């Protein structure tokens, strides 16, 4: 697989990474451990060198899984993890106090079976902790050799600028896809200005852009999509037109809707690296195949033109979670 460099950081990774959250958390029951280890290692064998986890994904269990899976080839991969929630529990709210950041770093190093964290993200901006204190703490961890690069997730422009002035932000991770294009307004121009790489999470719209979900799909009771307004039965039906357009374009290019959605992201900027996640080996192979899909300028114009007539229905988060997205 081709490699990309995330902004001015010099951090080189595969053009597509692997988001590992769903193997342990968020989309129903955790995957069988043997299967999950095989999936992560298969991703590496197929050229993926960028793996994303967080303390908050099953309170460290996802980090432990990733640490075991990648230990045989640790020096050939880039591992990203995150701090920023109370007790590593996303339901408890933010905690980016300096002492907590240091605790999370030390615990993550053990769980990941490594001596350094390649990319350490603040999972969400903490309104109670000055951004300068957060960036300064990560700067100390970088000076100590425990962390290589500082990242932020779902942060707004003001927070990014404040952090970047203290410790250069290597990467921003936020949601971005054909059905959530908000970053194009303010965030992408800012990242280009500052030389910050961009890692879109949910690049397949939490699975919707694959075409495998429709209005009659039922989710496991522990799947967080049950509370996402965009995934109500009514909104799934209303949003089906977006997938229909993707299917038409994909057919003409001998690709799948998921591959078109990922290839579209890769075509936006050379410093964008999506991190699709999956629990299925055949979906992993499909996603990796997107890196070889070349979209021409005409293809991109056709996609934009077709989608400009479709208004996506439903908020991407329920109201109580939307408040966590920082300014």
What is d(CA 203, CA 275) in angstroms, rounded to the nearest whole number? 7
Looking at residue 310, its pLDDT comes to 84
Q: For 238-247, write each residue's pLDDT tens digit.
A: 899 889 989 9
Structural Rg of the chain based on CA atoms: 19
Looking at residue 323, its pLDDT comes to 57
Q: For 254-273, write each residue's pLDDT tens digit.
A: 999 999 999 999 999 999 99
| Domains detected in the chain | 3-322 (3.20.20.100)
pTM, entire model: 0.96
Looking at residue 316, its pLDDT comes to 87
What is d(CA 22, CA 42) in angstroms, rounded to the nearest whole number? 16
What is d(CA 266, CA 176) in angstroms, rounded to the nearest whole number? 11
Catalytic residue among 25, 27, 57, 121: 57
Looking at residue 61, its pLDDT comes to 97
% of the chain at pLDDT higher than 90: 86
Q: For 282-299, write each residue's pLDDT tens digit.
A: 999 999 999 999 999 999
Give yes or no: 121 in active site. no
Helix (H) or strand (E) holding 163: helix 157-166
Q: For 169-223, write each residue's pLDDT tens digit.
A: 999 999 999 999 999 999 999 999 999 999 999 999 999 999 999 899 999 998 9
pLDDT at 322 over 80: no
Do the Cβ atoms of 274 and 199 come closer than 8 Å? yes
The pLDDT of 22-46, averaged and rounded, is 96
Q: How confident is the model at residue 52 (pLDDT cuts 50, 70, 90)?
A: very high
Residue 282, classified by CB atoms within 10 Å of its CB into exposed (0-12), middle (13-18) or buried (19+), is exposed
């Amino acid at each position: 697989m081709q490699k990309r460099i995330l902004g001015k950081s010099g951090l080189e990774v595969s053009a597509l990474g692997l988001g590992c959250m769903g193997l342990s958390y968020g989309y129903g029951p955790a995957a069988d451990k043997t299967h999950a280890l095989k999936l992560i290692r298969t991703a590496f064998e197929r050229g993926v060198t960028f793996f994303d986890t967080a303390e908050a994904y099953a309170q460290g269990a996802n980090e432990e899984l990733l640490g075991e899976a990648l230990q045989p080839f640790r020096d050939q991969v880039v591992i990203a993890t995150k701090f920023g929630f109370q007790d590593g529990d996303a339901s408890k709210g933010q905690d980016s106090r300096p002492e907590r950041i240091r605790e999370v770093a030390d615990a993550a190093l053990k769980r990941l079976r490594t001596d350094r964290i390649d990319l350490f993200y603040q999972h969400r901006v903490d309104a109670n902790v000055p951004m300068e204190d957060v960036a300064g703490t990560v700067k100390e961890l970088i000076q100590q050799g425990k962390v290589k690069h500082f990242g932020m997730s779902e942060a707004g422009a003001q927070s990014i600028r404040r952090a970047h002035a203290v410790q250069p932000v290597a990467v921003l991770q936020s949601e971005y896809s054909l059905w959530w294009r908000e970053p194009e307004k303010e965030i992408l121009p800012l990242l280009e200005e500052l030389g910050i790489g961009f890692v879109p999470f949910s690049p397949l719209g939490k699975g919707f852009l694959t075409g495998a979900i429709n209005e009659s799909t039922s989710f496991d009771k522990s799947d967080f999509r049950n509370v996402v307004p965009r995934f109500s039965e009514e909104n799934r039906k209303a949003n089906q037109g977006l997938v229909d357009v993707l299917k038409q374009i994909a057919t003409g290019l001998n690709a799948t809707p998921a591959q078109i959605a990922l290839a579209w992201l890769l075509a936006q900027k050379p410093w964008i690296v999506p991190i699709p996640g999956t629990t299925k080996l055949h979906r992993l192979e499909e996603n990796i195949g997107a890196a070889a899909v070349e979209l021409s300028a005409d293809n991109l114009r056709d996609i934009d033109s077709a989608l400009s007539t479709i208004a996506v229905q439903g908020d991407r988060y329920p109201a109580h979670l939307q408040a966590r997205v920082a300014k």
